[in-house]
Structure 1
Amino acid sequence: MGRRTPEILDAAAAVTSIPDGATICVMGTGPVLEPAHLLDALEKRFLAEAHPRDMTLITPMLPGDRRGEGGMNSFAHEGMLSRLIGASFARARHPALLDLLREGVVEGYMTSMGSMIELLTAIGSGKPGLFTTVGLGTFLDPRREGGALNERSTRPPCRIETIDGKEYIFYPAFPIDVAIIRGTTADENGYVSFEEETNTLGAAEIAMACKASGGRVIVQVKRLAKAGSLDPRLVRVPGPLVDAIVVDPRQTQLSPAMADPLAGWNPFLAGALKHPLKGLATVKAGPERTMLRRAALELKEGDVVNLGAGVATKLPLLALEEGILDRVTFTNEHGIFGGMMGTALGGSFVPALNAEAIMDSVFQFNFYDGGGLDVTFLGIGEVDASGDLNVSRFGEEINGPGGFNNITDRTRRIVFCGSLTSGGLRVEISGGRMRIAQEGRHKKFVPKVEQVTFNAARALEKRQEVRYVTDRAVMRLTQGGPELIEIAPGIDIERDIRANVGFDLRVSPDLREMPPEVMADGLMGLSGKFGGN
């Protein structure tokens, strides 16, 4: 009896086998690795037949970057889903899906991205589930919200367990019936390579979890190759994990919203070539640059750094300008080590220009969970009097944590970066001094955050060093909450800071002005501070 080979199908035929009530796991995040052709076919089938229906959708990441359409909106039809478990969403990208959640049509839960990838790994290896400290004391904790997205969601996918006197969140394993993944090339035996992809994400883990459950793995690729002709070093999903192959020759490296139709694919984002870095744009003068320069002072030579979503993703541009890009290692949660994150170049934060390594998601999150990071720079949504921080929910805007909770759980130094207020904020900088020309309409430092994504008390227990770097001030986390330790020259504490903070802000007796080089013209001299010339 010969080797089992996968079926070669068109998209419509591939999704016909998906049954009602299936648990389906879909890969991709933002503009990267979205199996758009298969998702479109699945949506068309439901609209024509009202099947498959009552499915459970698992999305470890955030597939889809087309504004208001595609991606997870393919599932946004009443009756198609009964339950949703994901790590990240955005109203701009998934408005229809979030409307179903808001209206209580679908039961839904948030998890941490890393925890979901690690749970899929456990499912794929026949383990009972995942024990993790990630999310304890936050909205992911089942004693709080359990990640619930609406009132209908009363069955969180986790519970608290105690082992040797230590508490963990336990996510029990469950079967995956269908996996929809994507790569670049599949050979006739089902081996899938990723030579044109900017990341690899959780493709292998998703496929393995599905196969271990007795499910069906469907892969979308750009091309089909002769059996055995792929470079084995580029294969990330082996043939025995694949049941069906769908070829979409129009597949672009990034989603259509971001793809360059003239380039086809960018070898500098896929690691095939290195792009010259001379002449890259710098961060423009202004409050954002001032904030980034102050944040950069938190770097130490040799640091392994995570950059989360937000303004901090532009730090590599400052590092390049200061001549220290090769003296720290920037990473992101999507497997990137080294190089320039896409956001620094005006694109998505998921891929990177000139990455030194592109690792699978399970490696990256295990590395983070194991304490591999020295420092992380993350955005500010809301901060309250205790120092708790919210980046996951703002009214009807459900963002989810993404990899935030894995990143902050074990990282030694945490730097939150963001303006003190937002919405119409105008800041003027002249002669090394700052003036608030127009205050923002929305305060970010509030009496109580809407949702606890970061638990300050746990951070203090773990002796993590926490900073809040804003456009005009720096605070540190203490037992009494945030404490003001630095202000920008020209800033008045009462008028510009206290009046825009929704709680009684403590001021350090050692309060000082920000280092003058933060607001000066020219370089800050970080290379010299690192011990260079």
Structure 2
Amino acid sequence: MSKVISADEAAKLVKDESTVGISLMGLAGWPEEIARAIERRFLETGRPCNLTVVSSSGAGDSKERGVTRLGYEGLVKRWIAGHMGQAPKMRKLVEDNLIEAYNLPQGVIVQLWREIAAKRPGLITRVGLGTFIDPRIEGGKMNPRTQKDIIKVIEIEGEEYLFYKTFPVDVALIRGTVADENGNLTMDKEGMFLETLPLAQAAKNCGGIVIAQAEYIAQPNTIHPKRVKVPGILVDYVVQCTNPDNHFQTEAVYYNPSFSGDVKVPLSAIAPLKLTERKIIARRAAMELAPDVIVNLGIGISSDVSAVAAEERAADLMHLTTESGTIGGVPASPPDFGHAYNAEAIIEHQVQFDFYDGGGIDLTFLGMAQADKEGNINVTKFSNRVIGSGGFINISQNAKKVVFCGSFTAGGLEVAVENGKLIINKEGKIQKLVEHVDQITYSGKYARQVKQPAVYVTERAVFSLEPEGLTLIEIAPGIDLERDVLARMGFKPIISPNLKTMPEGIFKPQWGELRDYINNKNHI
């Protein structure tokens, strides 16, 4: 019997009080057609209601598509998410204290699906210790309405760990490319496999249902078994997408064959970055690279490191990866984040985090919204504005070395370069180097305990994390130390006695020195 149903029929299968698990990153993996039907049913009937929604990654396109489709008071009562910033209506429910909200590390959520599928009691990991995830600090709670502790500190053989308890899953919403009438699902045109399989296994073993959105329907037993990423025994219902707008590969494009590995594009097809503060930061950050290192690139300015490496013909000197599961190639910047041009391999989301959590990354480049004198970083919450950590905590705590990338100030910063020197035309209104960060996403104290090297790169200054605290080690040519750096900080940093000038080359329209610079290094 065919498992194919309409989106409206699928929406009626989601019951009140259900826990709904979703596999997505941006719009990758997101079943927009099914979500629209759930939204439509709720607006017409008030059902389903009081859902608990669990999503691991960037939850949409920051506009109308994605988890924001479910952002109605009454439809959702609780949101457990790895990242919240890309679902504006859901985020507003959190900020207005209308629903409960927990931010858990992205890698924890994708690994929890596997623990749930195996009916284990929970996930034991060091990820989150010393950050706002730690129940001794905030426990991942993102607003006052959220009161219950869902994370515990435990001790095993004298070592501290966090214990994330498993929970039942009633509905899994997943997406693929082709589904046969038996529910066997391929992901041929997807640029990432995500945590689709363990999520489906979790729902099935909890007695829940799995609903898959697919572009195409095939006859039973016509798909090569190696193409099947979710077997039909796990899939209860299939919805065929009727509108390409509801099945975008990324936030920006319906389909780019390079992201799915079907076309290898020339690197010249990747547009060079304009010479702004972002490119200056990415260039200086890229100087931390070394030959043959395994690298993770985060979102924001840090993702621009790959574009700089491609422009400098240096991308082949290291192994660039993303948390979504891409390995090799050139990782894409937003709005295509998580995908990669010309990837060598694409593995599952939770498997990538197994490797990351075990220290497999030599070097990571991550964002920096706030930093303080202890070396703490905040990228998750600013006053009442919630963003969420994504994979930041898994990655930053476990990489052998971390490089944070961000502008020195925000809110209107305008810079220019002239003859290899930096000029501040307009200062940003928002101070980013503050006495104390609003929320601890990265713990400088924990980093010092585990002796993890950390570098903080801005367009005008570079800092390193030393035992005594955040230390200024470089300033840009053309910059006045007192006026442009110290006066724009909320604390006085330690100033290295060997304070250097950032290389003039990175402030020029054409650089061309990165490849040789990397080749002359033997370590990070």
TM-score range, shorter chain: over 0.9
Q: What is the CA–CA distance in structure 2 between the aligned matches of 1:257 and 1:168, rounded to whole Å?
A: 36
1:327 aligned onto 2:321: no
Residues 112-142 of structure 1 deviation map (CA, whole Å, 9 limit, x = unaligned): 0100111111111121110011111111111
Could you list the runs of 4 or more consecutive aligned residues of structure 1 that deviate by over 3 angstroms after TM superposition?
520-524, 529-532
- TM score, norm. by length of structure 2: 0.95
Residues 215-253 of structure 1 deviation map (CA, whole Å, 9 limit, x = unaligned): 111111011111121133322111111011111132455
8 Å contact 1:303–1:374 — kept in the other structure? yes
1:296 aligned onto 2:296: no
The corresponding residue for 2:248 is 254
Residues 352-407 of structure 1 deviation map (CA, whole Å, 9 limit, x = unaligned): 22111111101111110011100000111000111101000112321100000010
Q: Which letter does structure 2 place at the counterpart of 1:7?
A: K
Question: Which stretch shifts more, 225-234 or 516-525?
Answer: 516-525
8 Å contact 1:223–1:249 — kept in the other structure? no
8 Å contact 1:222–1:250 — kept in the other structure? no
Once the two structures are TM-superposed, the CA of residue 528 in structure 1 deviates from its matched residue by 2.4
Q: What is the CA–CA distance in structure 2 between the aligned matches of 1:466 and 1:328, rounded to whole Å?
A: 19
SS in 1 for 2:108: helix
8 Å contact 1:291–1:469 — kept in the other structure? yes
SS in 2 for 1:269: coil
The corresponding residue for 1:478 is 466
1:240 aligned onto 2:233: yes
8 Å contact 2:27–2:248 — kept in the other structure? yes
Q: What is the CA–CA distance in structure 2 between the aligned matches of 1:285 and 1:23, rounded to whole Å?
A: 46
The corresponding residue for 1:152 is 145
Residues 309-328 of structure 1 aligned to structure 2 (within 5 Å): 309-328=299-318
8 Å contact 1:25–1:59 — kept in the other structure? yes
Which of 5, 9, 12 is the aligned partner of 1:13? Answer: 9
1:178 aligned onto 2:155: no
The corresponding residue for 1:226 is 219
Once the two structures are TM-superposed, the CA of residue 57 in structure 1 deviates from its matched residue by 1.1
The corresponding residue for 2:481 is 493
SS in 2 for 1:116: helix
The corresponding residue for 2:199 is 206
8 Å contact 2:287–2:517 — kept in the other structure? no
8 Å contact 1:25–1:206 — kept in the other structure? yes
Q: What is the CA–CA distance in structure 2 between the aligned matches of 1:528 and 1:94, rounded to whole Å?
A: 42
8 Å contact 1:312–1:377 — kept in the other structure? yes
Once the two structures are TM-superposed, the CA of residue 288 in structure 1 deviates from its matched residue by 2.5
- TM score, norm. by length of structure 1: 0.94
8 Å contact 2:418–2:508 — kept in the other structure? no
Residues 340-363 of structure 1 deviation map (CA, whole Å, 9 limit, x = unaligned): 2221xx642122221111111011
SS in 2 for 1:484: strand
Q: What is the CA–CA distance in structure 1 between the aligned matches of 2:269 and 2:323, rounded to whole Å?
A: 27
The corresponding residue for 2:77 is 82
Once the two structures are TM-superposed, the CA of residue 338 in structure 1 deviates from its matched residue by 1.6
Q: Percent of counterpart pairs with the same letter?
A: 38
Unaligned runs of 5+ in 1: none
> CA 1:416–1:247 in structure 2 vs 1: closer, same or farther (change >3 Å)?
same
Q: Which letter does structure 2 place at the counterpart of 1:72?
A: V
Which of 264, 277, 280 is the aligned partner of 1:274? Answer: 264
Question: Which stretch shifts more, 280-289 or 446-455?
Answer: 280-289
The corresponding residue for 2:274 is 284
Residues 14-93 of structure 1 aligned to structure 2 (within 5 Å): 14-65=10-61, 67=63, 69-90=64-85, 93=86
1:415 aligned onto 2:409: no
CA RMSD of aligned residues (A): 1.7
Q: What is the CA–CA distance in structure 2 between the aligned matches of 1:31 and 1:57, rounded to whole Å?
A: 16
SS in 2 for 1:527: helix
SS in 2 for 1:267: coil
Q: Which letter does structure 1 place at the counterpart of 2:53?
A: L
Once the two structures are TM-superposed, the CA of residue 94 in structure 1 deviates from its matched residue by 2.5
SS in 2 for 1:270: coil
8 Å contact 1:108–1:150 — kept in the other structure? yes
